[in-house]
A and B are shown apart, each in its own frame.
Chain A
């Protein structure tokens, strides 16, 4: 069965970086896209970016363009999302989610990773 398993919670200081992982299983990793979505406490969903695991090509929301990097490791079927220059308002749950090639909706989601930014 398809699974996206994310790394554990992180606590970071302002100005630091965080790297969250998303390990895919149950399907051919390079066949489908992985997106990142975040949710601040009590707030809605915010789309951040996407990677094509086959080519490694990425697209990011303009808001995060200069601070986010999404990469992948095909050998371990893992996607990484790194966010730099962290601020307190980056405190959120970060989700990875799959989009099947040829479709345009998130059919499977990771369990979420809480990133807390606090001095």
Chain B
């Protein structure tokens, strides 16, 4: 099974900060990597698919990059509504998927 490891697990940050979250796969997954945002009490929301493509309606401050085993999600200037938990997901082994353990952004 492919394992995904996100870092950090949590991050104390402030509005306006540039935030980078990493996701490392246990083996190469090409660019089959997606990112989701989850606000407590709600379903996850797709942010970025296939490593770097922004889902419709998602603000351009979100971006993704990487390939192989190392991937990043970057928020260029954190907004109040971005305090949430972020998950990476691999779909290389489609239709069987796995998620990372999540990264929680907290207000400093």
Contacts and interface: CB of A to CB of B under 8 A. Distances in A.
Interface residues of B, number: 24
Contacts of A61: 96
B50 interface: yes
A108 to B, nearest CB: 8
A104 B96 CA distance: 10
B32 A44 contact: no
Q: Is the interface of B mostly helix, strand, loop or mixed?
A: loop
Size class of A's contact patch?
20 to 34
Interface in A84-119: 95, 97, 99, 103-107, 109-112
A61 B91 CA distance: 13
A97 B46 CA distance: 11
Interface stretch (B14-22, B73-81, B98-106): B98-106
A106 B45 CA distance: 8
Q: By CB atoms of chain B within 10 A, which of A45, A50, A105 has the most? A: A105
Interface of A: 33, 35, 37, 44-47, 50, 59, 61-62, 95, 97, 99, 103-107, 109-112
